[in-house]
Amino acid sequence: MSFIDRILPFRRTLTNIEPNIEEEVGIGFETGSDTKSVDLADKVDFEVKRTIKNCRFAANDPSVQGILLDNITKTNSVFVIQSEDSKALEFIKKKCIDWDIKQLMDDMLFNGIVDGEGFIHKMVVDNQIKIRHLAFDAETYRIKRKYNEYGEVVAYKQLTTRDKEKESTWIKKDFNQLSDKLEDNVEVNFTADELINYKYVERKGKGRSLVMNILDQVYYLRSIERLMPTTVYKNSNIMVLTVGNEHKSGLKLSQTSKKDIVESATDYHKKGVIMLPYGVESKMLGTNQLPSVDNYIKLLEHRIFTGLTTPDVIFSSESSNRSTAEVQLDSPETGRQLMFKYNREWLKKYLEEELFKPQLELAGYDPEVSKVWIEFNPKPETGETGAYMEDEDQESVNLEENNTTTNDEVAIESE
């Protein structure tokens, strides 16, 4: 009996499905009639428009900016450039100085978390790659991707503005004579290999902004903070004016006179003394107790932390004991270290494959043989001192301290 003959008896027709029917995928489960149901977006739509402009504004909020800077700084605190080919290593290290690799990492992470994605133009001059970030906000500066029949990106088109002034003309002008003379709707084309299109938390070919998840929470938090001075004033300084009493029941004032009295009594606590006509009495209202907004603020801040994948314990310890804090921060399986690991692998993917590798090829190296890579938080046995480009005379850094998430500095090599 052949092998084919032995497996034929095991062929069976599936009997756990209905025969001869067609079924559309992704419609949902049978839950009865939905004639009275509503669409969630129609009832509780987002308060703030999901735009890059709004994300960048929200990133300037103190709570959001503190979380972003903490995340970015601790992700890139300590790293080294490594290779088994010493010549290729020294070559890329020099290029890293030209590229300002530490700042490049910070910019990529910030743009990724806030905008969702960004674009770096790779310009080749004398076999050397020079880089610059493309302006992009999806409104004034727009970029389109061109795909081929296989879904691969083959080109980009940027809609931008350019300064009409020539450099020579600009230099000759006085400071007060300078002004932007922009040319609108300039279109610039790029091939796929000319740009690094980095996408954060990529889904279906598009980057996802973390800040976009917490726009409403930032809006509500800022609204509450803005109302707090008014709330304090209203709950402790409300004056009620009564025109006429049992002794002066016939007192009549024109609308103009009433407005004048109200105007005189407004902000009375700033004036020290106010004078009211006879028959007009005043009294204070309010319990002198401010409404509690702490719970609202804490809830919004918690949701901001959650949306930015950051434990609350980073900036607050009032609700966490030490064990909880250690799990949230340091656990390699469930803690914040996982987010740092994601950020580092994300940076490595773009920088090593789309910057280091093509630069090595232009310089005549085989990128597979002379591979250069980034290692974050190197272990002591690597022999590295913890900073990404140090010279031999520079003082070594304590690796045990650098291996924590609190070191924010990277030493730069001196030529």
**What's the pLDDT tens digit per position in 139-176?**
989 999 999 999 999 999 999 887 776 667 777 778 88
126-155 exposure pattern, b = at least 16 Cβ within 10 A, e = fewer:
eeebeeeebebeeeeeebeeeeeeeeeeee
Residues 70 and 99 in one domain: yes
Residues 123 and 108 in one domain: no
Q: Decide: 410 and 79 in contact? Cβ < 8 Å.
A: yes
Residues 176 and 238 in one domain: no
The secondary structure of 347-377 as a DSSP string is HHHHHIIIIIHHHHHHTT--TTTS-EEEEES
Long-range Cβ contacts of 289-296 (<8 Å, 24+ apart):
289/235, 290/231, 290/232, 290/235, 290/236, 291/231, 291/235, 293/224, 293/228, 293/231, 296/220, 296/224
Residue 394 falls within a domain, yes or no? Answer: yes
Residue 304 falls within a domain, yes or no? Answer: no
Residues 73 and 133 in one domain: no
Q: Using a pLDDT cut of 70, give the percent of the chain over it.
A: 68
Residues 105 and 130 in one domain: no
Residues 409 and 324 in one domain: yes
- pTM for the whole structure: 0.74
Residues 375 and 411 in one domain: yes
Q: Decide: 297 and 266 in contact? Cβ < 8 Å.
A: no
Residue 125 falls within a domain, yes or no? Answer: yes
Q: Decide: 136 and 114 in contact? Cβ < 8 Å.
A: no
Residue 367 falls within a domain, yes or no? Answer: yes
Structural domain boundaries, residue 326: 52-115+312-415
Residues 85 and 164 in one domain: no
Residue 81 falls within a domain, yes or no? Answer: yes
Q: Which residue has the tokens 């290290």?
A: 93
- Smallest CA-to-CA distance from 116 within 196, 203, 54, 200 is with 200
Q: In which residue ranges of the chain is pLDDT below 70?
A: 1-19, 29-33, 165-167, 180, 182, 233-253, 267-279, 281, 283-291, 316-335, 380-415
Residues 144 and 87 in one domain: no
The secondary structure of 387-398 as a DSSP string is SSS--TTSPP--
Domain count, the chain: 3
Residue 24 falls within a domain, yes or no? Answer: no
Residues 167 and 249 in one domain: no
Q: Which residue has the tokens 């591979």?
A: 371
Structural domain ending residue among the three candidates 150, 182, 199: 199
How many CB atoms are located within 10 Å of the residue 280 CB?
20
Per-residue model confidence (pLDDT) at position 40: 87
Q: Distance (Å, rounded) from C-alpha 347 to C-alpha 354?
A: 11
Structural domain ending residue among the three candidates 181, 199, 217: 199
Residues 106 and 172 in one domain: no
Residue 5 falls within a domain, yes or no? Answer: no
Structural domain ending residue among the three candidates 285, 302, 323: 285
Per-residue model confidence (pLDDT) at position 273: 65
Residue 377 falls within a domain, yes or no? Answer: yes
Q: Decide: 412 and 389 in contact? Cβ < 8 Å.
A: yes
Q: Distance (Å, rounded) from C-alpha 144 to C-alpha 414?
A: 41
Residues 318 and 402 in one domain: yes
Q: Distance (Å, rounded) from C-alpha 415 to C-alpha 413?
A: 6
